[in-house]
């Protein structure tokens, strides 16, 4: 036994069954204590433990085991706790840590208080979430806790050093230690462990009681076996658990019974829509159930992940590709589809984190959504008044569009809601939507400086207003139009410059009248939407990376298919053409109210230009990659009137300037833009994308003209708008590799 790994001198295990034996085995094997002693009323178990070498001593009584030990672990059946505690207490050394491994924590605390008269500072209840249907020390396994969770429920009075030692012991067994209150532990376990065991026991018992039980079991396939595996667990132990966690278990049984009854009614009444809603929501929840446990929406949080792009210099772009669906249109297809009457079928939907956050938020509000499956989504609209209160905050990840559009929609609902996001979204300004919504009668709280989270009070009647937007923002315009669908009278918005009009087009497509008069667009509240089909074009903002890539890399020739060419989005093509790019627009057509075309782009000698200010809102998301084009052009490019870039997913002016500097290109940053002198040699270097998807992809494009390797850090958020970017970029000739995964 190695003295430097030992956390305790002498560990006493009271009860050498599966859990006590496995803990003894893990402590012994990993040298976590100098000595392990055990006691058990079953002499055979002790003998076996000694023979297996998992304990060093067997004690004839609890008193003998406890005396001289600095850690005592109670691994006895829950119902025996109080009696055994009474035997432990008189022999416990001063300062010795006492813990247990029982499945219910409230009952353990009550037993301790009954025996000691209070909860002592060195008593720390514990529960390893690990087990097996087998029992007894013969099944002891030193790896039983590896990669499993152990919950400790310390109290205010708990001695911090004892807690640290106990955590270190479990950590040394390979477990991840969590701490929480005993009450919370019991609620969570009632739902996630106790109820499933009850149902498994009950189901097998029900089927065994049916007349044809032999046949039923004979034909029972994998599903039955998987579902009822836990009905093979120890009946005595489980009977203890249910009786000692009575209140929490009763609450969750009542909830489950109500839900089961509703499914029964749905089947009885042939209510397929309800069944589908419950099943699709459950399937999505199953996929993300760890998130669900923490009470958040189910979207994966990419902040947990680290991804690095490594780019070898040079290359040429060739191919015939289709980039993923338009992000703005994908968000809106879910929103309007959910609020419509009838079914909406979407093809070409962007399966990126941002639009998936919107999709999940509607599921959280009771909307049945099938898919996404390779861009196909089927939304069962609930009508304008059909949304239900979500069970917790709606987590919108990185998506500013989702948060701003939702704020308009939710301000008009009858229920309260809360919108949260990741670190980047939590820094972005929301006052621009909260202020005009308040003028309509909405009640919205923001964090300091108008930042998320947004707490929206339901049940407030909205009244239409006229709003002169101070900034050209399609998100603000769309937010107010969505609120306007519910408001009394007319809601009108005047924009200082044209911004993307997907909301207006899609509303019209869903049969809602939208009035446009010059720069002012308006809706009257109280109408309805009718579901239909939406074909989402490829996102011109994603195509932009390849338009620039093929333009700057000598010998390139690339075709991009089915690209959305809405006139409010084509700034990138106008600007690149002004710079001398060779872009052919082919097969122009209109699909579902949106213009679409194929684009053929070939390498060209680009020239620096003064970017016309009226193009800024029409190319607002494409500037990061346009800065790369400018750096590769001859002469100076000047951008003005683009201060909005500073409040995107990152401060795109500063972050791009810093990134360009890291690869040897010096620029001049101004308050509302940048000056880039093209033609400076571009070296390799390390760029920090600040978690901004478009910055990361822009420097992937830059590598085509660099002379050394470029490393781009913090690239996981590329999945927000462009899933599959790395593979697609590589297929066209960008020498990209992505490193990393979950931290």
Q: Under the criterion CB under 6 A, does residue 81 sit at the interface with ligand S3P?
A: no
- Which residue, 622, 614, 616, 700, is CA-closest to 663? 700
Distance CA 278, CA 325 (A): 28
- Cβ at position 717, least distance to ligand S3P in Å: 13
Q: Are 488 and 461 in contact (CB under 8 A)?
A: yes
Binding residues for ligand S3P restricted to 141-200, rule: CB under 6 A:
none
* 3-class secondary structure, 712: strand
Q: Under the criterion CB under 6 A, does residue 543 sit at the interface with ligand S3P?
A: no
- Cβ at position 269, least distance to ligand S3P in Å: 40
- Cβ at position 644, least distance to ligand S3P in Å: 6
Which residues lie closer than 8 Å to 669 by C-beta, 6 or more apart? 653, 654, 657
- Cβ at position 390, least distance to ligand S3P in Å: 22
Stretch that binds ligand S3P, among 24-32, 388-396, 471-479, 593-601 (CB under 6 A): 471-479
Q: Are 127 and 150 in contact (CB under 8 A)?
A: yes
Stretch that binds ligand S3P, among 55-63, 442-450, 468-476, 659-667 (CB under 6 A): 468-476
- Cβ at position 620, least distance to ligand S3P in Å: 5
Distance CA 327, CA 355 (A): 7
Distance CA 169, CA 185 (A): 20
- Cβ at position 597, least distance to ligand S3P in Å: 20
Which x/- pattern over 478-497 shows residues binding ligand S3P (rule: CB under 6 A)?
Answer: x-------------------
Binding residues for ligand S3P restricted to 627-646, rule: CB under 6 A:
644
* 3-class secondary structure, 353: helix
Phi, psi values for residue 438, rounded to 5°: -65, -35
Task: Select the residue whose beta carbon is closest to ligand S3P and give its number.
Answer: 328
Give the Å distances, CA to CA, from 256 to 248, 259, 260, 269: 13, 5, 6, 20
Catalytic site residue from 501, 621, 692, 714: 621
- Which residue, 569, 499, 583, is CA-closest to 539? 569
Q: Under the criterion CB under 6 A, does residue 621 sit at the interface with ligand S3P?
A: yes
In order, the DSSP letters of 518-533 are TTEEEEETT---B--E
Q: Under the criterion CB under 6 A, does residue 474 sit at the interface with ligand S3P?
A: yes
Of 280, 300, 424, 475, which one interacts with ligand S3P (CB under 6 A)? 475
Element (H, E) at 32: none
- Cβ at position 605, least distance to ligand S3P in Å: 30
Shorter beta-carbon distance to ligand S3P: residue 401 or 566:
401
Shorter beta-carbon distance to ligand S3P: residue 20 or 400:
400
Stretch that binds ligand S3P, among 59-67, 433-441, 467-475, 735-743 (CB under 6 A): 467-475
Of 167, 281, 500, 705, which one interacts with ligand S3P (CB under 6 A)? 500
- Cβ at position 328, least distance to ligand S3P in Å: 3
- Cβ at position 610, least distance to ligand S3P in Å: 22
Stretch that binds ligand S3P, among 32-40, 235-243, 300-308, 473-481 (CB under 6 A): 473-481
Q: Under the criterion CB under 6 A, does residue 245 sit at the interface with ligand S3P?
A: no
Count of other CB atoms within 10 angstroms of residue 298: 21
Shorter beta-carbon distance to ligand S3P: residue 223 or 449:
449
Q: What is the dihedral of CA 513, 514, 516, 519, to 10 degrees?
A: 170
Half-sphere exposure of 358 (CA within 13 A, CB side): 33
Stretch that binds ligand S3P, among 47-55, 73-81, 164-172, 470-478 (CB under 6 A): 470-478
Size of the residue set binding ligand S3P (CB under 6 A): 10
Shorter beta-carbon distance to ligand S3P: residue 170 or 512:
512
Tell the residue number behind the tokens 């408001």, with chain if given: 487
How, if at all, do strands 33-39 and 126-128 pair? unpaired
Shorter beta-carbon distance to ligand S3P: residue 158 or 328:
328
Of 344, 407, 473, 637, which one interacts with ligand S3P (CB under 6 A)? 473
Q: Are 714 and 306 in contact (CB under 8 A)?
A: yes
Shorter beta-carbon distance to ligand S3P: residue 478 or 566:
478
Q: Are 531 and 379 in contact (CB under 8 A)?
A: yes
Shorter beta-carbon distance to ligand S3P: residue 401 or 420:
401
Beta bridge partners, 701, equal none
Give the Å distances, CA to CA, from 447 to 266, 452, 480: 42, 6, 21
Distance CA 540, CA 542 (A): 5
- Cβ at position 71, least distance to ligand S3P in Å: 56
- Which residue, 392, 383, 376, 372, is CA-closest to 338? 383
Q: Which two tokens stand for residue 515?
A: 């009035």
Of 401, 460, 491, 522, which one interacts with ligand S3P (CB under 6 A)? 401
Shorter beta-carbon distance to ligand S3P: residue 40 or 326:
326
Stretch that binds ligand S3P, among 128-136, 260-268, 474-482, 652-660 (CB under 6 A): 474-482
Shorter beta-carbon distance to ligand S3P: residue 73 or 350:
350
Shorter beta-carbon distance to ligand S3P: residue 127 or 331:
331
Which residues lie closer than 8 Å to 697 by C-beta, 6 or more apart? 545, 624, 625, 718, 722, 725, 729
How, if at all, do strands 97-100 and 71-74 pair? parallel
- Cβ at position 339, least distance to ligand S3P in Å: 17
How, if at all, do strands 343-347 and 533-535 pair? parallel
- Which residue, 644, 632, 71, is CA-closest to 400? 644
Identify whether 621 is a catalytic site residue. yes
Q: Under the criterion CB under 6 A, does residue 328 sit at the interface with ligand S3P?
A: yes
Distance CA 476, CA 295 (A): 29
Distance CA 297, CA 357 (A): 8
Distance of CA 258 to the CA centre of its chain: 29
Of 350, 620, 674, 696, which one interacts with ligand S3P (CB under 6 A)? 620
- Cβ at position 500, least distance to ligand S3P in Å: 6
Q: Are 397 and 299 in contact (CB under 8 A)?
A: yes
Q: Are 39 and 14 in contact (CB under 8 A)?
A: yes
Distance CA 731, CA 724 (A): 11
- Cβ at position 174, least distance to ligand S3P in Å: 44
> Is the torsion defined by CA of 681, 684, 689, 690 positive or negative?
negative
Q: Which two tokens stand for residue 331?
A: 């968000």
Shorter beta-carbon distance to ligand S3P: residue 612 or 664:
612
Shorter beta-carbon distance to ligand S3P: residue 345 or 621:
621
Shorter beta-carbon distance to ligand S3P: residue 460 or 475:
475
Binding residues for ligand S3P restricted to 559-618, rule: CB under 6 A:
none
Query: What single-letter DSSP state applies at residue 683?
Result: -
Q: Under the criterion CB under 6 A, does residue 399 sit at the interface with ligand S3P?
A: no
Residues near ligand S3P (CB under 6 A): 328, 401, 473-475, 478, 500, 620-621, 644
Q: Which residues are catalytic?
A: 621
């Amino acid at each position: 036994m190695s003295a430097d790994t030992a956390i305790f001198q002498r560990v006493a295990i009271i009860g050498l069954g599966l859990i006590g034996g496995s803990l003894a085995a893990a402590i012994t094997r990993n040298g976590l204590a100098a000595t392990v002693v055990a006691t058990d009323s079953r002499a055979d178990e002790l003998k076996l433990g000694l023979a297996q070498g998992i304990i060093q001593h067997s004690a004839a009584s609890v008193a003998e085991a406890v005396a001289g030990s600095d850690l005592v672990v109670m691994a006895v059946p829950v119902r025996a706790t109080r009696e055994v505690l009474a035997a432990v207490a008189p022999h416990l050394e001063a300062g010795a840590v006492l813990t247990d491994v029982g499945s219910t924590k409230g009952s353990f605390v009550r037993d301790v208080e009954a025996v000691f008269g209070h909860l002592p500072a060195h008593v720390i209840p514990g529960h390893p979430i690990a087990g097996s249907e087998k029992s007894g020390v013969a099944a002891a396994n030193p790896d039983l806790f590896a990669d499993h969770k152990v919950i400790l429920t310390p109290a205010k009075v708990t001695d911090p050093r004892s807690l640290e030692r106990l955590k270190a012991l479990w950590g040394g067994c390979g477990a991840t230690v969590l701490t929480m209150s005993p009450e919370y532990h019991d609620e969570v376990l009632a739902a996630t462990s106790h109820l499933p065991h009850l149902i498994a026991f009950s189901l097998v018992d029900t089927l065994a009681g049916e007349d044809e039980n032999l046949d039923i079991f004979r034909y029972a396939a994998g599903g039955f076996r998987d579902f009822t595996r836990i009905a093979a667990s120890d009946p005595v132990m489980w009977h203890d658990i249910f009786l000692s966690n009575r209140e929490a278990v009763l609450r969750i049984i009542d909830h489950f019974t109500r839900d089961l009854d509703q499914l029964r009614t749905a089947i009885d009444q042939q209510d397929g829509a309800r069944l589908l809603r419950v099943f699709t929501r459950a399937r999505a929840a199953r996929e993300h159930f760890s998130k669900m446990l923490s009470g958040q929406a189910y979207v994966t949080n990419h902040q947990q992940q680290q991804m690095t792009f490594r780019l070898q210099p040079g290359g040429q772009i060739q191919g015939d590709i289709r980039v993923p669906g338009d992000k703005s249109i994908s968000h809106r297809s879910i929103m309007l589809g959910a609020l419509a009457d009838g079914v909406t079928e979407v093809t070409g939907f962007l399966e990126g984190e941002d639009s998936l956050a919107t999709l999940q938020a509607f599921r959280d509000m009771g909307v049945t959504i099938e898919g996404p499956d390779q861009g196909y989504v089927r939304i069962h609209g609930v009508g304008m008044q059909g949304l239900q209160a979500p069970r917790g905050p709606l987590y919108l990840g990185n998506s500013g569009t989702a948060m701003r559009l939702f704020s308009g929609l939710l301000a008009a609902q009858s229920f309260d809601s809360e919108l949260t996001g990741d670190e980047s979204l939590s820094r972005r300004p929301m006052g621009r939507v909260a202020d005009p919504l308040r003028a309509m009668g909405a009640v919205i709280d923001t964090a300091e400086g108008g930042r998320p989270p947004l707490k929206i009070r339901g049940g407030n009647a909205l009244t239409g207003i006229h709003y002169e937007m101070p900034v050209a923002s399609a998100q603000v315009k769309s937010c107010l139009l969505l609120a306007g669908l519910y408001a009394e009278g007319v809601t009108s918005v005047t924009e200082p410059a044209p911004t993307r009009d997907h909301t207006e087009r899609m509303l019209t497509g869903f049969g809602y009248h939208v009035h446009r008069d010059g720069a002012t667009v308006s809706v009257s509240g109280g109408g309805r939407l009718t579901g239909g089909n939406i074909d989402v074009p490829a996102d011109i903002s994603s195509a932009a990376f390849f338009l620039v890539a093929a333009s700057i890399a000598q010998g390139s020739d690339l075709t991009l298919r089915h690209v959305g060419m809405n006139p409010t989005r084509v700034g990138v093509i106008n600007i690149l053409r002004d710079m001398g790019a060779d872009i052919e627009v082919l097969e122009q057509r209109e699909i579902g109210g949106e213009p679409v075309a194929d684009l053929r782009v070939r390498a060209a000698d680009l020239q620096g230009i003064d970017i016309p200010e009226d193009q800024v809102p029409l190319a607002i998301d494409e500037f990061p990659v346009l800065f790369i084009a400018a750096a590769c052009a001859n002469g100076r490019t000047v951008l003005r009137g683009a201060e909005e870039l500073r409040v995107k997913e990152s401060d795109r002016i500063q972050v791009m300037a810093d990134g360009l500097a890291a690869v040897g290109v010096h620029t001049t940053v101004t308050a509302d833009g940048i000056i880039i002198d093209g033609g400076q040699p571009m070296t390799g270097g390390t760029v920090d994308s600040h978690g901004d998807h478009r910055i990361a992809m822009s420097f992937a494009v830059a590598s085509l003209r660099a002379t050394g390797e470029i490393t781009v850090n913090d690239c996981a958020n590329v999945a927000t708008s462009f899933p599959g970017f790395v593979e697609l970029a590589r297929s066209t000739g960008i020498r990209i590799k992505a490193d990393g995964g979950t931290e």
